Chains A and B, each alone.
Chain A
Amino acid sequence: MLDFIKDNKKPVITLGLVTVIAYVLYFLDEIKTTSVLVFGWGYAVPLVLAAMVGIIGERTGVVNIGIEGQMLMSAFASFFGSVITGNIYLGMLIGIGAGLLMGAFLAVAAVKWEMDQIIAGVVINIVAAGLTSFFYAPGKTLPQLMPVVSIPILSDIPLIGPVFFRNGLFALATLFIVLAVNYAIFKTRWGLRSRSVGEYPSAADAAGINVTRVRMMNVTLAGALAGCAGAFLALEAAGTFARGLTAGRGFLALAIMIFGAWNPMGALAAALFFGLSTAIASQLQADEVINIPQQFVNLLPFVMTLIVLSIAVGRVRPPAAAGQPYTKEG
């Protein structure tokens, strides 16, 4: 526990501060604070999951610009999977499976074929947009709603309970996924190997690690998390599918990844920051405290991304080999 706090000073302090402020507000206005936090966390969930995809990829040396498309395909697959099978749980699995496939596709293109990673990602986005809009069929509804699950004891904590521990399955899983990814990257043999492949592939290779295999595996598995993010959007957040459902979240996630310094806990804090500021802006707008056109309120996350990136890039260091294909010599 102490180690964990020591390793994640900044995110822990940020999250602690946010918690304190949230509770102060909670005593001032219980209902509004809860609704802002619920909105904020709902906004943050797909961003956190998608940022994990980016982090796992780049820690292993593969830039993934195609998260947006991977999410869109998974959202599409999970929604129409649920509709066709008539079972939302099968739909969830289909969505995650679609994410895995999309991850495998990026892995093959970027690692095996050594295609330019950025072009590969952009191609994934355009292909996903094209396929999902052609096969889209309007007027379908989910066979059932995503059940809301409460975790015993934890969900009874005031404020934090209903926000984090009384949710649909994906939103519930997200906190644990972040902790798991954080542990896996920094404390396991797999994590050490992956990071060495992302920092100094030729040294990793010399130490007997199969660089290509590690990269292929990680990029593919990360795709499953993009699948979770997409399935969350379609099944849990929107409850439906629409053309272009992901609306740029895959790119916001990349900004969050950089803002969080390629660190899962950092990305969690960054995503909460994005989610909460959007939620607060919407609440202020609804209360008519501020009066700016709705279109501009909707732009907030995109403008924040630009500002955050122009501050963060250069202060944080990306994995050294991110974006560089590795060709074994000799």
Chain B
Amino acid sequence: MTLTDTKQENKLGFFVRNQTIVVPIAAIFVAFVLGGILILLQGVNPLVAYKAIFSEAWFDSDGLLRTFQKTTPLVLAGLAVTVGLRVGLFNIGAQGQLISAALASALAGIYITNLSPIFHVLVALTCGIIVGAIWAGIAGILKAYRGVHEVISTIMLNSIAIGILDYLVSNPFKEPDQSLQRTKKIAETAVLPNIGVIPFGFILALIICLLVSWMLNKTTAGFRFNTVGKNKFAATYAGINMKLMVVTGMLLSGGLAGLGGAIETLGITYRFEPAFNAGLGFDGITIALLARANPLATIPAAILVGTLRAGGASLQFETGIEPEIVDVLLAITLLLVSAPILAKYLFKGKAQKSANVTSGWGN
């Protein structure tokens, strides 16, 4: 082997070793190329379209605030799915947990009064976390004690949450004299402020990311989670209480999604309106898979998705392309990070397997 061959090997070796980063970036790149072709087919220069998205999202102070606002609940939704994946649970119900929590914290922000500002925010956030955790906990209990697969139960719970919330905001908690179905504004004392263009909730979300990363990687509880997620049989054999792990995994995941919904209400929308939260939980799935279930990697993944969501709106205004192009970009990205197409093409035999969460039904 000549010197240049070895060098070549080492260069590739760097990419092979870091394929958890290389594959998502390649996936995003390919998605933008394919999305660009779609945009081109609609008679618009893709570069102009992408420039419209990013200049709006990053180089405009209103746009930058909106980017952070979009990103904040996404970080937590992604984190919720990530924590679930680590315990071997696929929580596709982050949506239902997030929206029920968003309403719960709105109600706490409206109807609990006479509290000091910081305390009121804490109470409202806690309400959100608890409601999110309970909503996911139902799926956890059904899985642990009745063997109901969480993918089905959480999807059902999503639909149930949407129905119940729709009823609640169109009847008992509807803002009076308003045609829109939404609640009143929360009290001043319950508002999470913005610091310049950065919502306080965003900082909170980053701190939670660090905490979850620390919990998963450095604590006994995290070790148990990972063991259960990697090999149930080994975990049972080692004396880990599987039922307890399933329920706590779902509670934690739902609590994180709930916190996302609560922050969304208290720091961004200041009231609950169903349309505000559409699709956040499903973006959470994309983010978690893009981040390969790594809590810290959910931050850049969420920023990317948040950027596209924030910039997508101006896309229609400037180029006439429908903002749903963002859904297509994210769908292609999701496909490429979760299916081993890219990894196999790029690394042949050295490709690592992507996430594995499941076996059949009922266990």
Contact = CB atoms under 8 A, between A and B. Distances in A.
Interface of A: 58, 63, 65, 109, 113, 115-120, 122-123, 126-127, 129-131, 133-134, 136, 247-248, 251, 254-255, 258, 293, 295-296, 298-299, 302-303, 305-306, 309-311, 313-314, 318-319, 321-324
Nearest to B138: A306
26 contacts: A63-B361, A113-B344, A115-B354, A116-B354, A119-B90, A119-B338, A126-B286, A126-B331, A126-B334, A130-B324, A131-B328, A134-B38, A134-B325, A134-B327, A134-B328, A248-B156, A251-B156, A295-B166, A302-B163, A306-B148, A309-B153, A313-B146, A313-B147, A313-B149, A313-B362, A318-B362
Given A130-B324, A299-B163, A309-B153, A322 B142 contact: no
B140 to A, nearest CB: 13
Tell me the interface secondary structure of chain B in the complex: helix
Contacts of A314: 146-147, 362
A302 B160 contact: yes
Contacts of A117: 358
Contact of A295 (B148, B153, B163, B344): B163
B151 A65 contact: yes
Contacts, number: 142
Interface of B: 38, 90, 92, 142, 146-149, 151-153, 155-157, 159-160, 163-164, 166-167, 170-171, 282, 285-286, 289, 322, 324-325, 327-328, 330-332, 334-335, 338-341, 344, 354-362
B142 A303 contact: no
B339 A299 contact: no
Nearest to B325: A134
B350 to A, nearest CB: 16
Contact of B361 (A109, A113, A133, A318): A318
A120 B359 contact: no
Give me the 4 closest cross-chain CB pairs, A-B, nearest first. A323-B360, A130-B327, A130-B331, A310-B146
B86 to A, nearest CB: 14
A119 B148 contact: no
A220 to B, nearest CB: 17
A309 B328 contact: no
Given A116-B354, A293-B167, A306-B142, A324 B360 contact: yes
Contact of A118 (B90, B159, B166, B328): B90
Nearest to A247: B159
Given A113-B339, A115-B354, A131-B331, 17 more contacts: A116-B338, A116-B357, A118-B90, A123-B335, A126-B330, A131-B328, A255-B152, A302-B156, A306-B142, A309-B146, A309-B153, A310-B142, A311-B146, A313-B146, A321-B360, A323-B360, A324-B359
